[in-house]
A and B are shown apart, each in its own frame.
Chain A
C-alpha cells in the first residue's frame, strides 16, 4: 500500500464546478504539499501545509493531522485548471518528499 494515496485518479468537470481532490497518508509527516503539473511536465508548488487551511485565489487546501487527510478544493473551475494535481508529504524529519500518484483533472468549457 502506498504511503500517500490520492482520489480520484481522474476527474472531469464542467467549467464553474467546485472541485475536490483528496489525499490520505499513513505516516507521520512534518508537512504536506500540493503540486500542479501541466502537460509540459513542469511542476508548480501550490501549497505547503502543516495544519489548518490555506487559500490562494480560487484554490483552498485543508489538512486534518489527526485523520491524516488533506483536501484541495478549486472553486469556480476553469479549463486552465486542467492539470495533474499531486499530493506529497515530507515524512518526519526527512527532507525528501513522498508523492501520491496524482489526480488528472480536466475542466471542459
Chain B
C-alpha cells in the first residue's frame, strides 16, 4: 500500500479482555517496529521485526504483550488480560532499510476501562 496502515484506529476494551492490533506495512519494507505512547509520555520501543531474523522483543513491558509478523508483511500486536495502564496510542512504523528512514502509521488509540 501507499502507507503504513493500522487498525483499528480506536479501541475501547474492558479490563481483563484480550486485544489485537494490526499493522500493514509498506509493501517491500522488511523492517517493522511497534512503539507505544502513553498519555503525556514520549514514545517507547516495544518490538522490532527485521526480515526472517528473530524479533527484538526487548521493549515489551510484560509477558502479556506479544507480536507476530506473518509472511514478512502484516503484524499483529496482542495484549492479553488488558490493564488500565495499557491505555496508550500504539504506533507501527516500517522501513526498507533503517538508514533510509521510517514511515509511521496513524496509530491505534487503546483505552482500557
Contacts and interface: CB of A to CB of B under 8 A. Distances in A.
The main secondary structure of chain A at its interface with chain B is strand
A99 B42 contact: yes
B72 to A, nearest CB: 16
A41 B109 contact: yes
Contacts of A2: 42
A97 interface: yes
Nearest to B43: A99
B54 to A, nearest CB: 14
A67 interface: no
Contact of A95 (B35, B98, B104, B107): B98
Interface string A95-109: 111111110000000
B103 A45 contact: yes
A39 to B, nearest CB: 11
Nearest to A4: B42
A26 B102 CA distance: 22
A59 interface: no
Interface string A18-30: 0000000000001
A42 B31 contact: no
Interface of B: 31, 33, 35, 37, 41-45, 48, 50, 56, 59, 89, 91, 93, 95, 98-99, 101-107, 109
Q: Which 10 A-B pairs have the closest CB atoms?
A: A43-B104, A101-B42, A42-B106, A95-B98, A99-B43, A41-B107, A48-B101, A99-B42, A96-B45, A41-B89
